[in-house]
Amino acid sequence: MTRHEALARIREIVGPAGVVDDPLEQAGYLIDERRLYQGAAALVVRPASTDEVSAVLAVCHEAGLAVVPQGGNTGYCGGATPDDADGQVLLSLTRLNRIREVDPVGFTLTVEAGVVLARAQAAAAEHELLFPLSMGSEGSCQVGGNLATNAGGLAVLKYGTARELVLGLEVVLPDGRVLHGLKGLRKDNTGYDLKQLFMGAEGTLGVITAAVLKLFPAPTERQTAWLAVADAAAACRLLGAARKASGDAVTSFEYVTRPSLALVLSRIDGTSDPLDSPYEHYVLMEMSAAGAEGSLREIMEQVLEDGMARGEVLDGAIAESGPQRDALWKLRESIPEAEKHVGGAVKHDVSVLISRIPEYLALAPARVQAVTDCRLSIYGHIGDGNLHYNLLPPADSDPEAFRAHWGAALSRAVHGLAAELDGSFSAEHGVGKLKKDELARLSDPVELEVMRAVKTALDPRGIMNPGKLFQA
């Protein structure tokens, strides 16, 4: 089948509603969230069912046409953007957006890949249940994209990353065959756990079309506190104490440094410092529980009092209402937007053992300043050992020139230190195009060989998202 014939056949499969021809409409699919990559496509298709995805992939497989899956296009590593050679098929999952089933007895939710994360959360909430995956992009990212990147976010400490929330997966393989894995069993030891291969694979092994997700009782009480802490080591100790004292009710434990908070306060409307004086280190701690009305408040207060007595907590404010809680979360969740206002951010997403966070933070400034002068914006999910060690251009420099000139060397320094401390250079955002050289540089060679073997076994023609994850 020629390329021309294949593209015509794909048009027939999805029909006119399944093709985006208008250049203006196409544009949004061809550039990534961070505006780091601009691509082109032979065709932008939006199949409406698993059968259509399967038929499209069968044609692409036969014709040797590359396929780039795309969910909400909020990814940070350019994984959902085609290359600029005009030869790849951009396959958007947006129309696979049905909630297939909520099972309030088994606590599961079956959704198609294109369901926006916030909609999946709302579908669970209708049954007084919780789908706990949560992140700043939840209004646009899709469940399929979350699973393909094994997303993290704001409640990993309690509920795990995306892959830990999945009981079953439906996947279209590169040749069009469908792996029907939606039984949703809690126990099933019948050989390899194949679904795990596709989560975190960033679209390089197949297209996720649906998933059975785990639900939990919806919390009936939340306590949220904004705390000034002595330093990162104090924050880590406080985390352990809070987990023990609350019977593991700590759902989020987010670290924010003063420069990141200052950015938010100066750039984001409607924000204000909850504390009277400025401090260098903050923690946003949230505890939540189902069915234990009233008791968490006392526990939170006791944890803060004990933390103050040990000198870990310097000051703090506990939210007294829903709006106050939202205001505290806005301070944390607006940091990426505030960084966007500055421009030129060289962003990182490293992880180390929680106990090594202080060591990482002590060593990193000298490593980056040895590359070039820059401003630090450090925050992240320290409850998961995950830091966003973001570097901003000096006040007087051109943001884009800063990133273009220094970005790669700064990232090598930040990632290299994570590797030295036995950590990861990509904790939750994935690899995509942006970090594939780092995967080659920093991964164990045996690990890489096994990954390539899996890739070759499942996608022998290399049509799934080429140029992502692996160097050519």
37 or 299: CB nearest ligand FAD: 37
How remote is the C-alpha of 297 from its chain's centroid? Answer: 30
Contacts of 138 (CB under 8 A, 6+ apart): 116, 117, 118, 121, 153
**Smallest distance from the beta carbon of 421 to ligand 2HG, in angstroms?**
20
**Smallest distance from the beta carbon of 339 to ligand 2HG, in angstroms?**
6
Residue of minimal CB distance from ligand FAD?
A: 145
- The candidate with the shortest Cα–Cα distance to 351, out of 406, 415, 407, is 415
82 or 336: CB nearest ligand 2HG: 336
347 or 403: CB nearest ligand 2HG: 347
Q: Specify whether the CB–CB gap between 404 and 344 falls below 8 A.
A: no
- The candidate with the shortest Cα–Cα distance to 333, out of 383, 384, 286, 379, is 379
Torsion of CA 179, 184, 187, 193, to 10 degrees: 30
Token duo for residue 96:
């696979």
Q: Which of 11, 49, 95, 136 binds ligand 2HG (CB under 6 A)?
A: 136
Token duo for residue 358:
């202080």
CB count within 10 Å of CB 83 equals 17
**Smallest distance from the beta carbon of 268 to ligand 2HG, in angstroms?**
13
50 or 224: CB nearest ligand 2HG: 224
Cα gap 365→82, rounded to integer Å: 35
- The option from ligand 2HG, ligand FAD, none interacting with 20 (CB < 5 to 8 A, set by class) reads none
List the x/- string, 269-308, binding to ligand 2HG by CB under 6 A.
----------------------------------------
Q: Would you count residue 149 as binding ligand 2HG (CB under 6 A)?
A: no
**Number of residues this chain uses to bind ligand 2HG (CB under 6 A):** 5
List the x/- string, 341-360, binding to ligand 2HG by CB under 6 A.
------x-------------
List the x/- string, 362-391, binding to ligand 2HG by CB under 6 A.
--------------------------x-x-
CB count within 10 Å of CB 330 equals 13
**Smallest distance from the beta carbon of 83 to ligand FAD, in angstroms?**
13
> First CA to last CA across the chain, in angstroms?
25
243 or 347: CB nearest ligand 2HG: 347
**Smallest distance from the beta carbon of 428 to ligand 2HG, in angstroms?**
6
Cα gap 210→111, rounded to integer Å: 6
CB count within 10 Å of CB 391 equals 26
List the x/- string, 389-408, binding to ligand 2HG by CB under 6 A.
-x------------------
**Smallest distance from the beta carbon of 390 to ligand 2HG, in angstroms?**
5
Helix, strand, or coil (residue 166): strand
Sign of torsion, CA 431 432 434 435? positive
93 or 417: CB nearest ligand FAD: 93
Beta strands in 95-249 (DSSP E): 99-103, 108-112, 129-130, 166-172, 178-181, 207-214, 216-217, 221-229
Q: Would you count residue 336 as binding ligand 2HG (CB under 6 A)?
A: yes
* Residues engaged in binding ligand FAD (CB under 6 A): 33, 68-76, 79-80, 93, 113, 135-137, 141-142, 144-146, 148-149, 151-153, 202-203, 207-208, 336, 428-429, 432, 465, 468
| Residues at the contact surface with ligand 2HG, assessed by CB under 6 A | 136, 336, 347, 388, 390
